[in-house]
Amino acid sequence: MPLLIKNGRVITSTEDRMVDVYAEGETITRIEENIDPGSLPEDTEVIDARNRYVFPGFIDPHVHIHLPFMGTNAIDDHASATKAALVGGTTSIIEMICPGPDDEPSAAYKEWKDLAEAGACCDWTFHLAIVRFDDLAEQQIRDLVANHGVRSFKIFLAYKGALDISDENLFRLMSLAKELDITITAHCENAEAVDSMQQKLIGEGKTGPEWHEPSRPRSVEVDGVNHLCTFAELTGARIYIVHTSCGEAVRRAMAARAAGVDVMVEAVIPHLVLDNTWAERDKFEGAKYVMSPPLRDPEEHDQLWEAIEAREVATIGTDHAPFNFNGQKDMGRDAFTKIPNGIPSIQERVDLAHTYGVCAGRINLNTMVDACSTQAAKIFGMYPRKGEIAVGSDADLVIYDAGYESPFCEADSLSQVDYCGYEGMERRGRAEVVTLRGRIVAREGTYVGPDGGGEEISRDHSHG
């Protein structure tokens, strides 16, 4: 049915104004200072957004749902993860397809797409990880770009012997990316250095989760950024560095940009609000906070937020990777190298960015929208259909109550994971009403939409 949102404070990446928004079908058709409900079809649903923000639907550019990792599989399915996303105000996700080293890219794409089509409740698209790059893989990549709309690929400069890619294949793949005008997203570390550090620490009996960060320090991440940027400079490929955890890595990427490299940077919410002391908690509690790159010293928070405010860091994602503490994370009790990596955050991201970014005075509302929605849409070819409130854009809208206060807790989560990574932390603001293409799908922390209903997002060649 048609939808009218009245009296709201509409905030985009560039604007902040009091206007009414009307959607008919799946798209926004009118934005005016005062739209009279009496002039609209009788079945129009009217929402009074007085004293509320109206945001474009948020986009999470870095999500894992179906994720085989370290002999187990992430605990969410597409239904649970996307319902959690929508309740938190995220209406579109980009999921990482993560095949194994023997899997064919086309088969992996079909496997993930079938799962998303069957269960996803929000809109979705993919980054496809390339962990093998032979002639068959190259042929299939060309087909996926030409005929299936895949516009971005993922590489790992980490996880030696499992997901990492050789320099020879890295050069070939990035040359192909330049030819096809697609984006390479990259996990930047140094697989060889991390492997050596891990073996050394385990050999010294340093096996707990508190040793995860020392096994892959900032210098390793900075080295990975440098390495990737060198290959991008050589090939002309467009690159997007995922989950950047420290200021020095951002500075290295900005130096490359100043030298002409087409590089964009992502931060993820755990690195903005949690620090290494969480991974050092006793009784193995720290395992809940093992992710790669790891949580860093608290002083990195200011550097990352400042880079977001300066728009040097383009996006805030999650790297949502939900593994249960009991039965999955605890596989690594004898060695931190066996702890499945990831901190579930798909539902909490927007409220964390609002609480610890906007309310803390680190960024303004326009920057929050830019980093949590608009830039992802622009970089990955979804703008202005997504990430914007404009006539012709999808009616993905978040009516946000900035005055809401309640701590984060596992009981509120729609994810299937058995803990909340932000348990007890202050929370200011929440999505009160969320619409996906004009249909109300969430109200006040409850999912009210249909099972399924998400659609694959078609993407073009545009980028930020």
What per-residue confidence (pLDDT) applies to 53? Answer: 99
Does residue 411 sit within a domain? Answer: no
Q: For the chain, how many residues are written?
A: 464
The answer to the question of residue 8 being in a domain is yes
For 401-414, give one letter per residue: b (16+ CB within 10 A) or e: bbebeeebeeebbb
Whether residue 76 sits in one domain with residue 30? no
Are residues 329 and 440 both part of a single domain? no
Which pLDDT value is given to residue 70?
Answer: 81
pLDDT in tens, 392-450: 999 999 999 999 999 999 999 999 999 999 999 999 999 999 999 999 999 999 999 99
Q: What are the pLDDT digits (tens) for 249-305?
A: 999 999 999 999 999 999 999 999 999 999 999 999 999 999 999 999 999 999 999
Q: Which of 454, 293, 273, 455 has the alpha carbon at shortest distance from 349? A: 273
Give yes or no: residues 231 and 124 share one domain.
yes
> Would residue 420 count as lying in a domain?
no
End-to-end CA distance of the chain: 34
Q: Are residues 49 and 72 in the same domain?
A: no
Pair 436, 347 in one domain: no
Claim to verify: residue 76 and residue 88 sit in the same structural domain: yes
Strand (E) or helix (H) holding 143: helix 135-148
Q: CB neighbours of 159 closer than 8 A, spacing ≥ 6? A: 191
Q: Is residue 454 part of a domain?
A: no
Q: In this structure, are 78 and 50 located in the same domain?
A: no
C-beta separation of 58 from 26 below 8 A? no
Indicate if 27 and 94 belong to the same structural domain: no
Both 220 and 266 in a single domain? yes
Q: Which CATH number fits the domain that encloses residue 433? A: 2.30.40.10
In a domain, 19, yes or no: yes
Asked whether residue 109 carries a pLDDT value surpassing 90, the answer given is yes
Q: Is residue 243 part of a domain?
A: yes
Domain end call among 324, 345, 379: 379
- For residues 241 and 370, membership in a common domain is answered with yes
Distance CA 208, CA 459 (A): 43
- 149 and 114 both lie in a single domain: yes
Phi then psi for residue 77, to 5 deg, are -115, 180
End-of-domain residue from the set 345, 379, 413: 379
State the pLDDT at residue 461. Answer: 65
Mean pLDDT computed over 308-328:
98
Q: CA–CA separation, 212 vs 69, rounded Å?
A: 17
Tokens representing residue 298 in the block: 């608290």
Domain of residue 299 covers 57-379
Q: Would 419 be classed as within a structural domain?
A: no
Tabulate helix, strand, coil % of the chain (nearest 5).
35, 25, 40
pLDDT digits (tens, 9 = 90+) for 73-108: 999 999 999 999 999 999 999 999 999 888 999 999
Does this model's pTM top 0.85? Answer: yes
DSSP-assigned states of every residue in 401-412: EEEEE----GGG
pLDDT at 121 over 70: yes
The whole-number pLDDT of residue 164 equals: 83
**Same domain membership, residue 199 and residue 51:** no
CATH of the domain at 200: 3.20.20.140
pLDDT attached to residue 90: 99
Q: In total, how many domains does the chain have?
A: 2
Q: What's the pLDDT tens digit per position in 188-236?
A: 999 999 999 999 999 999 999 999 999 999 999 999 999 999 999 999 9
Looking at residue 199, its pLDDT comes to 97
* pLDDT tens-digit series, residues 26-75: 999 999 999 999 999 999 999 999 999 999 999 999 999 999 988 899 99
177 is a domain residue: yes
pLDDT value of residue 239: 98
pLDDT at 462: 56
